[in-house]
Structure 1
Amino acid sequence: MSTNHRLIAGLIFGLVCLLVAAPSAAGVDWPKDGWRVIETSQSYSELLANLKKAVSANDLNVVFDVGPTEAAAKRGIHIPGNRVVGVFNNKFAVDILRLSVPAMIEAPVRFYVTERDDGHATLSWVEPSHIFAPYIEDVGSSDDAKMLRQEAEELDARFSRIASEAAQGK
């Protein structure tokens, strides 16, 4: 093989490597509709701890905290930090249940903490008003629809505060 052929083969190999690596370097392509995403400079474990603290400070409760990272590690598989944190409280549960029994399938509403390739973490969630929108449209009366919309908007405000506090490390 001539020097030119080796050079061309090396360039092609390098370009293929760049093309394969490009999607991971570009980051995650999060859905747009209803999603909120905050990339932080915190580590996965720091953001997770700050999220739980912010949830409590905003009068909500962590209902569940699950993810595949630790279970995968027990199997000898390393994956980046990945945790879903379900958040709600009994006041919202009772109020929403009175307005729409089917809407309660969406509770608790979830935050998603993910670890990026650079070691920092991302906090994401779907806005509660987006989650509950189909139930608002289907609820029996206009008064109930208005009240369910208000509950969802109050959850939007709390989730935004929680996310802001967690992302700032408060």
Structure 2
Amino acid sequence: MQRFLKLLAVLTVLAAPAQALEPREGWVIHDTAKSFADLVQAVRDAVSDAPIAIVTQASASDGAKMQGHSIAGNRVFGLYRNDYARRMLEASIAAGIEAPIRMYVTEDADGTASLSYKSPTAVFSPYFDEGGEKLRDLASELDGVFETVAKSAIAE
């Protein structure tokens, strides 16, 4: 009986519906009507047309699937470009810990997906005293790039 209860508890956690992301300071969140897989592909397509590149990717849901578990879809894309990195590091070595800047696709309980990210300005703001106008200008430029990628990815 105890073994059954443990199994039931594990299955309940695994079958729990995806939680919607709540608004947070510095975050941009776009709910979409797209499926998780479609939004992931839309982000890839949007980035291929933008002045930025996908330099990292991670997916806890892919990892869980390989271990026989099923969780709501999620994929984190790390977006950046070497010239952005050089400009950032010229302004602030400490800000380098924040690169690449991430864009997050999450599967919602209703089968749709959301696209979210911390604005580059929010990401780099702790380093503005050190990085000055150069870092502020880069963050502002990247805000525009991320907005362009997001708008393209969420377009129907």
TM-score with structure 1 length normalisation? 0.78
* One of 123, 132, 144 as aligned partner of 1:157: 144
Tell whether the 8 Å contact from 2:120 to 2:142 is kept in structure 1 after alignment: yes
Tell me how far apart the structure 1 counterparts of residues 17 and 45 of structure 2 sit (CA, whole Å).
Answer: 31
Residues 71-127 of structure 1 show CA distances to partners (whole Å, capped at 9, x for unaligned) of 111221110101110000011001111111110100000000000011110000000
Q: How many residues align?
A: 141
Give 1:142-153 correspondences, 5 Å limit.
Answer: 145-153=132-140
For 2:20, what is the secondary structure of its paired residue?
coil
AA aligned to 1:108 is: P
Larger radius of gyration: 1
Give 1:65-144 correspondences, 5 Å limit.
Answer: 65-139=57-131
**Equivalent position of 2:49 in the other structure:** 57
TM-score with structure 2 length normalisation? 0.85
What do you get for the CA RMSD once the two structures are aligned? 1.7
Tell me how far apart the structure 2 counterparts of residues 31 and 156 of structure 1 sit (CA, whole Å).
Answer: 18
Deviates more, 1:24-33 or 1:52-61: 24-33
Structure 2 stretches lacking a partner, 5+ long = 1-15
Matched, 1:42 2:34: yes
Deviation at residue 43 of structure 1 after TM alignment: 0.7
Tell me how far apart the structure 1 counterparts of residues 36 and 139 of structure 2 sit (CA, whole Å).
Answer: 28
Deviation at residue 56 of structure 1 after TM alignment: 1.9
Tell whether the 8 Å contact from 2:80 to 2:100 is kept in structure 1 after alignment: yes
Deviation at residue 31 of structure 1 after TM alignment: 4.1
Tell whether the 8 Å contact from 2:23 to 2:29 is kept in structure 1 after alignment: no
For 2:22, what is the secondary structure of its paired residue?
coil
Deviation at residue 26 of structure 1 after TM alignment: 10
Matched, 1:168 2:120: no
Q: Which runs of 4+ in 1 moved over 6 A?
A: none
Structure 1 stretches lacking a partner, 5+ long = 1-23, 140-144
